[in-house]
Structure 1
Amino acid sequence: MAFLEGPSPKQAEIIKQELCEGSGDLERGVRDLQSMCAASPYLPPPEVIDTNILGLFMRGCRMNQERARAKFEAFCFARARCRDLYEHRSLSEPPLNDVVKFLDIAPLPKLTDEGLRVTIFRVRESYPESSADIVAAVRAILLVGDARMHDETLLAGDVFIWEASNVRASLAARIASAANSVRRAIHLAQGAYPQRMRRIHIVGAPPLIASSINFIRSCVNEKIKRRYYIHQKVEDLLEHFPARVLPAEWGGQEESLDIITKKWIRRVDELRGYLRELSELSTVTPQPKFDSDIYGTVGAFRKLDID
């Protein structure tokens, strides 16, 4: 059962103002995206698309129809052009069931006072070395992102927290060997998903993965590069987030991260049919109409304005 909480009525009004959403704008935007799909031989027919997803694209693009069209088209085409990243649709069965021994992926239930959704990625303590498969982790992160879109509500943007205190030296080499998949996933997150990335917090990262962090930062646009925050310990996060949002073991008032992560594993299984259909939104695509292949080349999506 979905457990993402939406904004209060007062928050909702503030968020809508920030997103430039006036009366009837969301409905008109959704109809525009449906019309685009109906007119394209490469996009799914409008009747098979969850209107909640179309609404997320409109709001994530601050009601800019041109940007929403470009992002939603990229979202669909990614299913064909990056098919290897969308092959598996369960976190409780092989091969992705091994990833959860290495990495917790947990969108938190409550929004911040600003109306932001916080997602935690925590490298688990004493993880088996064999479970630290970076390509599989990329697939799992995209999978949870797809599942979240089914349940997400009105929000002002996203915050990611990477807790890396348990990272081992071997991980840097694994990230380097999976550089192509990591780069593609970051480009997709920026240009093919409706999120508005507001901040990225990295906690407890040892110096041995500095090269990995620099590589990841090199894949994002300049705006997002300026939104990175580095912390020594999780307690520092209480200076940036209300305690009611954060998990109990980090000094917060929410359920433990273990419990939240297990809920998401179950939620992904509950949505398996939906997620399988989402991975098949597009199977044939036109030739890229950008200067470079936006689904695999450095510099992808830089023609899109990212908030």
Structure 2
Amino acid sequence: MERIPKNPILQFHPDTMECVRKLCNFNTQLEVKEAVDLLDEWVKKQSHYRKRNFTRSYLEKTIIINKGSVERAKTQIDQLCALKTIMPTFFEKCHARDELGHLKSYCIQGLLPKLTPEHYRVYIGKFRKDGLTSYTDIFRFGVLINEYLKEYDYCNGLVLIADIRDINVLRLSYSLSLTELRNILTIATEGYDMRIKGIHYVTSSRAVEVLLRLMRSVLSAKLSERMRVHKTVESLYEVVSKEILPAEYGGDEESLLTLYDKWVEELSEKKNVDYFKEMREIRAKEGVRQTEVYRSQYCGLAGTFRKLNID
């Protein structure tokens, strides 16, 4: 890939590709091509995969996310294959508008168009009201965003913002399934290998400490240290400039609701729905022994936790 293709929502700095590649120790287009060739050759030899034809864009982003390491990229693809094999429920829905449209009343989310000066992409999820009895579909929407990001975005990592000002934080904390939360975070951090610079909660509720304790129980020590609570929107400006933030956060961007509607329409484009269905097939073939190997590797996930009693 010689240049970042134009995107209907995502924007890039003129030097984004060059800077991000240099951070991964790629100084020439030839070096990138050779790395992608190596990864592509390896994928095609994985006979237990149901899908072995990845776009070169996807393979390059996988290498970039893994800081230029082809070996780490192999591991990440294999982990995603494992997780899609043993946790298919998170990948069942591929049409944002038709299958996940009901979420709009409760939660809106999406990637912001502009990158930070350091080429990080900002994600915002805003809970609009209480009442959700299951959060699985919110996680499924997030999976679609991750699939889209891997194919179309080019960034140095993510800044995550969760706006929970308009809901009962204590109720949220107690209604989240620890097993499901642990599973989706494993998918995000190991399957998609999200490079998370920070996790920011916007709320003035003292009950957020309960939520933080829950999150620390499922996050790595490194990510736990990157969590921060903002009692006001203005506090966010220390992390993300107003130029990047949506209008309701005092920013210069369109409203989050408008951006969410755009994301729903973009994710629901036929070419993207077909792509999500195709990427759902990154899993082990039925009857192949590798499936049991995956279950052994991830024995703590997708079932084992239901045997635990969580206080």
2:9 corresponding residue in structure 1 = 3
Partner deviation per Cα, 1:126-173 (whole Å, 9 max, x = no partner): x361x45212221221122212323212x1111100111112243222
Work out the CA distance in 2 between the residues paired with 1:30 and 1:245: 32
C-alpha deviation, 1:44, in angstroms: 4.5
Q: How does 1:291-302 map to 2 (within 5 A)?
A: 292-293=297-298, 296=301
SS at structure 1 position matched to 2:101: helix
| Contact persistence 2:51–2:282 (CA under 8 A) | no
Are residues 257 and 67 of structure 1, via their aligned partners in 2, closer, same or farther at CA, if it must alter by over 3 Å? same
Q: CA RMSD in A?
A: 2.2
Work out the CA distance in 1 between the residues paired with 2:221 and 2:302: 17
C-alpha deviation, 1:65, in angstroms: 1.4
2:67 corresponding residue in structure 1 = 62
SS at structure 1 position matched to 2:90: helix
1:305 corresponding residue in structure 2 = none
Partner deviation per Cα, 1:3-55 (whole Å, 9 max, x = no partner): 1112322x443332222223223222222221122111122454x31221111
C-alpha deviation, 1:84, in angstroms: 0.8
Aligned length: 289
Are residues 74 and 144 of structure 1, via their aligned partners in 2, closer, same or farther at CA, if it must alter by over 3 Å? same
C-alpha deviation, 1:290, in angstroms: 9.3
| Contact persistence 1:202–1:231 (CA under 8 A) | yes
Partner deviation per Cα, 1:250-304 (whole Å, 9 max, x = no partner): 1111111011001111111111111111112224361336974167179xxxxxx
Moved more, 60-69 or 204-213: 204-213
| Contact persistence 2:87–2:302 (CA under 8 A) | no
1:166 corresponding residue in structure 2 = 166
Work out the CA distance in 1 between the residues paired with 2:70 and 2:295: 19
Work out the CA distance in 2 between the residues paired with 1:188 and 1:235: 32
SS at structure 1 position matched to 2:171: helix
2:126 corresponding residue in structure 1 = 122
Work out the CA distance in 2 between the residues paired with 1:25 and 1:53: 16
Are residues 264 and 226 of structure 1, via their aligned partners in 2, closer, same or farther at CA, if it must alter by over 3 Å? same
Asked whether 1:32 is paired with 2:38, we answer: yes
Are residues 21 and 217 of structure 1, via their aligned partners in 2, closer, same or farther at CA, if it must alter by over 3 Å? farther
1:303 corresponding residue in structure 2 = none
Are residues 268 and 12 of structure 1, via their aligned partners in 2, closer, same or farther at CA, if it must alter by over 3 Å? closer
2:80 corresponding residue in structure 1 = 75
Structure 1: 5+ residue stretches without partners: 299-307
1:189 corresponding residue in structure 2 = 188
Identity, in percent, stands at 20
Work out the CA distance in 2 between the residues paired with 1:227 and 1:205: 19
| Contact persistence 1:79–1:282 (CA under 8 A) | yes
- TM-score normalised by structure 2 residue count: 0.85
2:307 corresponding residue in structure 1 = none
